Amino acid sequence: MPVYEYKCDDCESTFTVIATMAEKAKGLTVTCRMCGSERVRQVFSGIALISGKSGGSQFGGGCAPGGGCCG
């Protein structure tokens, strides 16, 4: 699921919006989560991935592959 990050011009708060590619292509109306302003702009820096830290540990957290803890 694509996640887009926006910043409000009025209150300068940042927030993320989840929308499909189709919704984005049709023209997504985004309003500020904090003040409701429509003067928001998309920011492209700092797209966060789910895995926060890069590392080699296979026991870093979450479900281990084949561990069966997700059931």
Of positions 3, 35, 63, 64, contacts Zn ion by CB under 5 A: 35
**Which positions from 10 to 29 touch Zn ion by CB under 5 A, shown as an x/- string?**
xx------------------
Q: What residues contact residue 48 under an 8 Å CB cut-off, 6+ apart?
A: 3
CB of 50 to Zn ion, least distance (A): 26
Candidate segments 9-17, 21-29, 46-54, 57-65, binder of Zn ion by CB under 5 A: 9-17
Q: Which two tokens stand for residue 58?
A: 């296979």
Alpha-helix runs per DSSP H in the chain: 21-27
| 7, 19, 28, 37: which one binds Zn ion (CB under 5 A) | 37
Q: How far apart are CA 6 and CA 14, in angstroms?
A: 6
Sign of CA dihedral 38, 43, 50, 71: positive
- Residue numbers of the site for Zn ion (CB under 5 A)? 8, 10-11, 32, 34-35, 37
